[in-house]
């Protein structure tokens, strides 16, 4: 590390001799929102720069240049040409106006650089406008579900929002909302994500070749930025859907200086079902139903001056599934609720024309509670299972744009984690005398995570290099871990429209999500690495080519190999819902993972017909000494073929059609295939216990394949301009041809019923069958959207 | 009608075919070919081989109860040391403990390492084979037993003993530990008149045995607590052992039995214990029971045993 720091001033000094630097912010003229990755190019020298996440750019020009002819551009916006005299460092902020054919272009806008020009590979930037057009389940636009349609990204199961990126598991994704880690990304048992698309500005997913500024997870970085807020005028948008409604308002508190954004979403199944349930109940019985989720996003932006900005962002969301019935003097019921609270305070400081600092303080909390109550006039019994994780952290990220050929990033960060990996509080009282009031389970654990990084984006003619190193440390219960992770990305331009790329990255992860393969429940536990549970590690190499055809089509083809060590899995037979007296560490085991494959991505970004085709061919293996007799086995989400086709067609300015088709190899699962009887050796009884001798098992773990998954979603949007703004009806259908996609598989002995008389039926268990059960049939939807 | 409504109605109509709302699809399983399932245990120093033979069945079939002819042959090296014939021993669960059969040997099974092989045949299902090497007897001693007790998570008293394992270097070794006391045991049988007959006999009673050591795994059947020498290969290892004690009196002649196991036996006993724990628990992770019988199922356990008396 000492050598890296010594080297750094040398690197910084490169290109600093007698040059002038233009810097400033690139923003949307209508809203003041920063335009991530907007371009500026000096036409005489060909030197260019790209705006960072906060819209800041810095372009250093040669000393012998008297006047600079600058072209600022961003797809979907009118270019801005200007000529400036180059005499000294100066600030030049530019606002872009949307292009005339905004309706067509907005949704297909992407970052300024073409795919073959970017050094970073294995990265997909998805404009929120485009995500919003993908047909959605129940009309609820979902960022994560749209990401599942990209190559290298898989869903866990029908309707779920979990992301399995290049064979990794969901806990290996670093999901950042305005730079703050989000631990639970799902609502409604994973059917919806917590991200309200109306409040989002941009979404990017990195699957490999990770730049040094990211760390802490093995498989992906999902960077989601909320809108900053409209500094110019008040605006709003929202929708009324079948299951939820949402509203987003944004506008200036003080024009051009302070803005606020508030966005809220709530489902209302309880408001519909609650009265129906009550209407069917006797007079002395009353049931309160909790069946909803909500999200609340907020952001406050304040420009202290041209160089300093403050931001406060906030997210709170929760799911509630509960019933509570009061019947005479008896009260009983229970349920579960879980959710996140996330907040960040950010300070953007343009220190100079070449140096930009972003300082952030973060807080993130995830909790899940499972409640049960049974009380009457004399007895009270209450139990609550709870677990969660709290993070408090701070970080400083710096961009130093030394010259047109060197773009340095460096920074450091610290996070204090508090884990609550599962405990139960019990209260029992009789006649107001407390008989039991106790807490059983795992104690909270604290850990400290620290990191620092430095990276440089180097552009030398046709060769582009991103090189960096990420250093991380972790302390938990006196146990210390550290890791030095080199990162490298290469791009070589072959001609004007084709480039070859390669990358290498090492990653280390100190926290783990214990999640059950048996059931998809929100009872997952976040736990730290410990003295016994070593940090997860990975290294990944990728190579590929990227090309743009006819300015309309972007094609990328990548092959990758990823090796993971110390990945965590439950031991066979483990169950964390029962046996709370056991420490969670005794229920898990560690092993290795190996993933390799190829991804093809073809995208059309302009014209009336836009969309993409993504295809992934991959193999995904796990090997644990304590699972499957130590033999290698396919990961549950080993998906040999994964295809997605997304198409949007603009019939006119008012009518748009969209469709998405997905196909994937069925999940690998373990189900008993045969049985046999063995007898107990060394006869006798142990404390009166005799084990049942019949064993029903499978030859190998995950040796059975569920049926292949495929589905077609369709939607149509009918838009109309009104005096007050714009409205649109969006009608859609999920799973248009009603394919019964398997959600889980079970061996069952269904009842066979026979009419024994005209008024009675006799039922008895029939022969055993293996059944795949699906949960989401054809689901139509309609939503009314408005914007003003 | 204007706008989206005709489109919506068409969609709803398309969704309503015959049995359109059924969300369950029956799937086929590959046909299972029935094979012998063996239960064979060889303990160094014993003059008897305990065994039983049954027949595997597909998960969609009923458990077979067909009395087919069976044959089991046991070899040490190339020499046949035992042979037995009979019929398939699938039994009701409550009788399983008593359904092990015996092959009486002319001489005790040597405690020295040797290769053992079994061939099991059931009429109409072919033959299954398995090979295991008899592990060396464990080198183990009691380091401390003072009569100290602890209370376990279920509120029961447990005795505490500390043993020291002297692990041989350069090879993977597997151990099992269980506590045993002398006690009166009530055994029940169904006699020839189909009457349920119970009687008290005086003999060894196993006590549930565990360890706070995180490397110790629960083993199925009567092997109780097991561990492997990953973390102490070739070194001495001190292990604290906990075992249930008599809640109402004093245990007679308490002792620890320490076994050396083969890797296959260890994996099998761990996986069956996990299987039993997970049975009927929908929240449990699936279990694949370790199988090391070629062309069949079950186990061939070869063990050596050392008995450690516990005297405070």
Q: What is the pLDDT of residues A301-333, one digit of tens each?
A: 999 998 899 999 999 999 888 888 888 778 888
CB contact under 8 A, B98 and A677: no
What is the spatial distance between Cα A223 and Cα A205, in angstroms, rounded to a whole number?
A: 6
Report how far apart, in Å, the C-alpha atoms of A59 and of each of A13, A29, A41, A84, A499 are.
16, 21, 8, 13, 24
> Per this entry, what is the length of chain A?
788
Least confident of A314-328, A525-539, A576-590, A637-651: A576-590
CA distance A536 to A545: 30
Q: Please give the DSSP secondary-structure letter assigned to residue A172.
A: G
Cβ pair A481, A474 in contact under 8 A: yes
Nearest to B93 among A519, A575, A692 (CB): A692
Residue A559 in contact with residue A544, Cβ under 8 Å? yes
- Closest CA in chain B for residue A707: B27
Contacts of B293 (CB under 8 A, 6+ apart): B36, B37, B38, B128, B129, B130, B299, B300
pTM: 0.87
Q: Which of residues 119-148 of B touch A (CB under 8 A)?
A: none
For every residue of A29-90, DSSP letters joined together read: TTT--B-TT-EEEETTT--EEE--TTSEEEEEE-TT-SEEEEEEE-TTB--EEEEEE-SS-E
Mean pLDDT to the nearest integer, B110-119:
96
Closest CA to A181 of A294, A342, A312, A313: A342
- Per residue in A430-457, pLDDT (tens digit) is 776 766 666 666 678 899 999 999 999 9
Cβ-contact A370, A360 below 8 angstroms: no
The larger pLDDT score, comparing residue A98 to residue B149, is at B149
Among residues of chain A, what percentage have pLDDT more than 90? 40
Q: In whole angstroms, what is the distance from residue A636 CA to residue A705 CA? A: 9
Phi, psi of A726 (to 5 degrees): -135, 140
B246: exposed, middle or buried (Cβ count in 10 Å: 0-12, 13-18, 19+): middle
Predicted confidence (pLDDT) per residue in A697-748, tens digit: 999 999 999 999 999 999 999 999 988 889 999 998 988 998 888 888 888 8
Closest by CA position to A133, among listed A788, A784, A786, A730 = A730
Task: Inspect the interface and report whether the beta carbons of B59 and A696 lie closer than 8 Å.
Answer: yes
State which residue of chain A sits closest to B40, comparing Cα positions: A681
Please report the pLDDT score of residue B132 as a whole number.
97
Of A496 and A538, which is predicted with more confidence?
A538
How buried is A277 (Cβ within 10 angstroms: 0-12 exposed, 13-18 middle, 19+ buried)? middle
Q: Which residues contact B228 (CB under 8 A, 6 or more apart)?
A: B172, B173, B174, B175, B215, B266
Please give the Cα distance from A406 to A459 (Å, whole number): 7
- Tens of pLDDT along B43-75? 999 999 988 888 899 988 887 777 788 999 999
Please state, for a pLDDT cut of 70, what percent of chain A lies above it. Answer: 90
CA distance linking residue A171 with residue A165, whole number of Å: 10
- What would the two tokens of residue A762 be? 């006799």
Query: Cβ contact (<8 Å) for B37 and A671?
Result: no
Question: Per-residue pLDDT averaged across A151-163, rounded?
Answer: 79
pLDDT at A3: 45
For chain B, the average pLDDT equals: 85
**Which ipTM value was assigned to this complex?**
0.87
Q: Does A13 touch chain B (CB under 8 A)?
A: no
Terminal CA-to-CA distance of chain B, rounded, Å?
Answer: 93
Dihedral, CA atoms, A679, A685, A688, A692, nearest 10 degrees? -10
pLDDT of residue A186: 79
Q: Confidence band (pLDDT; 50, 70, 90) for A522?
A: low
Size of interface A-B (CB pairs under 8 A): 257
User: Does A43 contact chain B (CB < 8 Å)?
Assistant: no
Looking up tokens 């009923």, which residue turns up?
A: B62
The nearest alpha carbon in chain B to A583 belongs to B214
SS3 content of chain A, % helix, strand, coil (to 5): 10, 60, 35
Q: What is the pLDDT of residues A664-692, one digit of tens each?
A: 999 999 999 999 988 766 544 434 444 44
How far, in Å, CA of B237 to CA of B282, rounded?
38
What pLDDT sits at residue B82?
92
- Most B CBs within 10 A among A679, A738, A773, hence the mutation to make, goes to A679
- Which H or E run contains B66? none
Predicted confidence band of residue A523 (pLDDT cuts 50, 70, 90): low
Task: Write out the E strands in A665-734.
Answer: 668-669, 674-677, 694-697, 704-705, 709-721, 726-734
Task: Tell me if residue A8 falls in helix, strand or coil.
Answer: helix
Q: Is A358 left (phi over 0), alpha (psi -120 to 50) or beta?
A: beta
Token representation of residue A177: 């909302």
Q: Give the residue from chain B lying closest to A781, CA to CA.
A: B8
Q: Which of A518, A679, A680 sits opposite B282 (nearest CB)?
A: A518
A437 vs chain B: nearest CA distance in angstroms?
A: 17
Q: Is B17 on the interface with A (CB under 8 A)?
A: yes
Whether residue A416 contacts residue A407, with contact meaning beta carbons closer than 8 Å, is answered with: no
How far is it, in rounded angstroms, from Cα A322 to Cα A337?
8
Tokens at residue A275, please? Answer: 């009265």
């Amino acid at each position: 590390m000492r050598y890296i720091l010594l080297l750094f001033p040398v690197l910084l000094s490169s290109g600093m001799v007698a040059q002038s630097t233009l810097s400033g912010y690139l923003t949307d003229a209508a809203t003041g929102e920063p335009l991530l990755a907007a371009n500026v190019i000096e036409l005489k020298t060909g030197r260019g720069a790209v705006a960072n996440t906060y819209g800041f750019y810095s372009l250093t020009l040669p000393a012998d240049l008297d006047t600079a002819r600058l072209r600022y551009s961003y797809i979907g916006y009118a270019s801005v040409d200007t000529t400036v005299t180059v005499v000294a460092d100066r600030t030049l902020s530019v606002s872009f106006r949307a292009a005339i054919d905004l309706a067509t272009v907005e949704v297909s806008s992407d970052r300024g650089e073409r795919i073959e020009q970017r050094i970073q590979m294995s990265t997909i930037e998805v404009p929120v406008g485009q995500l919003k057009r993908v047909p959605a389940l129940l009309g609820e636009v979902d960022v994560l579900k749209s990401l599942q349609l990209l190559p290298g990204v898989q869903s866990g199961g029908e309707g779920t929002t979990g992301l399995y990126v290049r064979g990794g598991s969901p806990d290996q994704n670093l999901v950042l909302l305005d730079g703050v880690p989000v631990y639970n990304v799902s609502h409604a048992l994973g059917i919806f994500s917590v991200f309200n698309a109306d409040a989002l500005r941009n979404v990017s997913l990195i699957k490999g070749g990770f730049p040094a500024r990211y760390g802490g997870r093995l498989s992906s970085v999902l960077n989601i930025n909320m809108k900053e807020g409209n500094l110019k005028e008040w605006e709003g948008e929202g929708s009324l859907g079948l299951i939820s409604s949402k509203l987003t308002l944004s506008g200036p508190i003080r024009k051009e200086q302070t803005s606020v954004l508030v966005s809220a979403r709530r489902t209302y199944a309880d408001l519909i079902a609650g009265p129906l349930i009550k209407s069917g109940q006797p007079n002395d019985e009353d049931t309160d139903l909790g069946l909803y989720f909500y999200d609340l996003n907020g952001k406050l932006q304040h420009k202290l001056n041209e160089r300093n900005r403050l931001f406060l962002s906030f997210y709170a969301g929760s799911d509630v599934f509960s019933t509570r019935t009061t019947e005479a003097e008896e009260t009983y019921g229970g349920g579960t609720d879980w959710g996140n609270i996330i907040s960040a305070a950010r300070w953007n400081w343009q220190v100079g024309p070449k140096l930009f600092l972003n300082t952030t303080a973060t807080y993130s909390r995830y909790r899940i509670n499972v409640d049960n109550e049974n009380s009457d006039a004399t007895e009270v019994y209450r139990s609550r299972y709870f677990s969660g994780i709290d993070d408090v952290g701070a970080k400083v990220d710096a961009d130093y744009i030394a010259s047109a050929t060197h773009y340095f990033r460096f920074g450091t960060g610290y996070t204090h984690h508090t884990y609550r990996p599962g405990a139960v509080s019990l209260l029992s009282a009789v006649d107001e005398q407390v008989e039991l009031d106790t807490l059983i389970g795992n104690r909270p654990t604290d850990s400290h995570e620290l990191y620092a990084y430095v990276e440089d984006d180097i552009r030398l003619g046709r060769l582009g290099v991103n090189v960096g190193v990420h250093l991380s440390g972790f302390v938990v219960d006196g146990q210390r871990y550290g890791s030095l992770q080199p990162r490298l990305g290469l791009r070589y331009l072959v001609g004007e429209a084709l480039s070859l790329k390669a990358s290498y990255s090492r990653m280390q992860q100190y926290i783990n999500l214990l999640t059950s393969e048996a059931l998809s429940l929100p009872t997952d536990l976040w736990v730290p690495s410990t003295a016994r549970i070593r940090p997860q590690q990975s290294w990944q190499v990728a190579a590929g080519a990227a090309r743009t055809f006819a300015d309309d089509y972007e094609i990328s083809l990548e092959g990758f190999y990823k090796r993971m060590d110390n990945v965590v899995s439950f031991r066979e037979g483990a169950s964390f819902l029962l046996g709370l007296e056991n420490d969670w560490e005794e229920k898990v085991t560690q092993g290795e993972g190996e993933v390799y494959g190829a991804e093809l991505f073809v995208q059309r970004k302009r014209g009336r017909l836009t969309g993409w085709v993504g295809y992934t061919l991959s193999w995904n293996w796990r090997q644990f000494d304590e699972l499957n007799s130590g033999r290698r086995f396919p990961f549950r989400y080993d998906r040999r073929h994964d295809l997605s086709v997304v198409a949007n067609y603009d019939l006119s300015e008012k009518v748009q059609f969209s469709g998405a088709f997905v196909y994937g190899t069925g999940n690998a699962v373990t189900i008993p295939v045969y049985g046999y009887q063995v007898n107990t050796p060394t006869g006798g009884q142990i404390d009166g216990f005799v084990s049942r001798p019949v064993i029903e098992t499978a030859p190998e773990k995950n040796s059975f394949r569920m049926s292949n998954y495929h589905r077609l979603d369709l939607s149509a949007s009918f838009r109309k301009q009104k005096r007050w703004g714009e409205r649109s009806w969006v009608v859609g259908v999920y799973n248009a041809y009603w394919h019964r996609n398997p959600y889980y598989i079970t061996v069952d002995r269904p009842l066979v019923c026979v009419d024994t008389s005209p008024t009675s039926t006799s039922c008895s268990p029939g022969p055993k069958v293996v059944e795949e059960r699906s949960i989401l049939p054809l689901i139509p939807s309609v939503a009314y959207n408005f914007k003003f | 009608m204007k706008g989206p409504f005709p489109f919506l109605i068409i969609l709803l109509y398309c969704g309503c075919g015959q049995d359109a709302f059924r969300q369950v699809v029956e799937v086929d399983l590959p046909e299972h070919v029935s094979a012998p399932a063996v239960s064979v245990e060889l303990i160094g120093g014993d003059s008897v081989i305990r065994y039983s033979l049954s027949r595997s069945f597909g998960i969609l079939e009923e458990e077979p109860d067909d009395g087919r002819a069976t044959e089991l042959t046991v070899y040490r090296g190339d020499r046949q040391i035992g042979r037995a014939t009979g019929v398939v021993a699938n039994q009701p669960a409550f009788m399983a403990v008593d359904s092990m059969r015996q092959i009486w040997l002319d001489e005790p099974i040597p405690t020295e390492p040797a290769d053992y092989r079994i061939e099991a045949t059931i009429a109409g299902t072919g033959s299954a084979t398995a090979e295991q090497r008899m592990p060396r007897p464990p080198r183990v001693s009691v380091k401390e037993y003072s009569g100290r007790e602890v209370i376990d998570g279920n509120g029961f008293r447990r005795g505490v003993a500390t043993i020291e394992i002297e692990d041989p270097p350069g090879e993977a070794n597997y151990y099992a530990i269980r506590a045993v006391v002398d006690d009166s045991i009530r055994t029940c049988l169904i006699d020839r008149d189909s009457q349920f007959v119970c009687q008290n006999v005086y003999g060894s009673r196993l006590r549930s045995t565990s360890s706070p050591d995180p490397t110790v795994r629960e083993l199925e059947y009567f092997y109780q607590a097991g561990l492997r020498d990953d973390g102490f290969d070739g070194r001495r290892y001190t292990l604290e052992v906990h075992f249930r004690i008599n809640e109402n009196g004093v245990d007679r002649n308490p002792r620890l039995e320490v076994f050396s196991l083969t890797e296959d036996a260890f994996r099998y006993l761990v996986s069956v214990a996990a299987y039993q724990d997970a049975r009927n628990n929908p929240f449990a992770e699936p279990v694949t029971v370790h199988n090391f019988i070629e062309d069949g199922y079950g186990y061939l356990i070869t063990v050596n045993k050392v008995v450690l008396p516990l005297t405070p």
